Amino acid sequence: MRRRAKTPRRKDADVKVDMTVNGTPESHEVEARTLLVNYLRDTLGLTGTNIGCDTTSCGACTVLLNGQSVKSCTVLAAQAAGDDVTTIEGLAHEDGRMHPVQQAFQECHGLQCGYCTPGMVMAITSLLSENPEPTEEEVRVGLEGNFCRCTGYHNIVASALMASRVPEMHQ
């Protein structure tokens, strides 16, 4: 089998990306085509954001971009320049306490293998910031595009509803 020679990386194809990630200013030179998910995982070492499909179908890569949930495999790092990104690693409180959505996932057993969990937690966090008291149906609709291959979503929805009852989520 013939191997292709590696194409040298062109320095003129690099862009400087400045953004705030989990409250920390970050600045790096990256290839212009670098996806936000790859920037977070490969450049910053924040591996809680998962890559599940590379086709925007599964939601495992969901992060908050300026407070709104986005699939980070659909956003170039350069497009997020100047923005505020929150990953699963940045969701917990500074004192180490879990965010109410994380706590609810633990208490309601809202995960099995855990691969989809970071994306689900981030999507629910965004949903609850927009709709602090959703119905079960609104949670299910809000999770469209975030897939779990292990569960029937019952405990994931229960986790979202439990988190919605935490006073901190209404501030």
Residue-level pLDDT at 153: 92
In this structure, the answer to whether residues 163 and 125 fall within a common structural domain is yes
Beta partners for 28?
Answer: 17
Q: Are residues 151 and 115 part of one domain? A: yes
- Are residues 19 and 73 located together in one domain of the fold? yes
- 89, pLDDT greater than 90: yes
Same domain, 65 and 41: yes
pTM for this predicted structure? 0.90
Determine the pLDDT at residue 5: 56
Residues pairing with 30 in the sheet: 15
Average pLDDT value for the chain: 92
* pLDDT for the residue 3: 55
For residue 21, the domain's CATH number is 3.10.20.30
Q: Give me the mean pLDDT over the 101-119 stretch.
A: 94
> From CA 22, how far away is CA 60, in angstroms rounded?
18
Helix (H, G, I), strand (E, B) or coil at 15: strand
Question: pLDDT tier at 112 (50, 70, 90 boundaries)?
Answer: confident
Share above pLDDT 90 across residues of the chain, in percent, rounded to a whole number: 84
- Does some domain include residue 3? no
Residue 8 in domain? no
Question: 92: which 2 tokens?
Answer: 């917990």
- Domain span at residue 22 reads 13-90
Does residue 29 sit in the same domain as residue 83? yes
pLDDT tens digits, residue range 143-156?
A: 999 999 888 899 99
Q: CATH number, domain at 135?
A: 1.10.150.120
- Same domain? For 85 and 145 the reply is no
What phi and psi, each to the nearest 5 degrees, are found at residue 160?
-65, -45
* Pairing mode, strands 84-86 and 14-21: parallel
**Pair (82, 142) in one structural domain:** no
Place 30 in a pLDDT band, splitting at 50, 70 and 90. very high
- 85 plus 53 within the same structural domain: yes
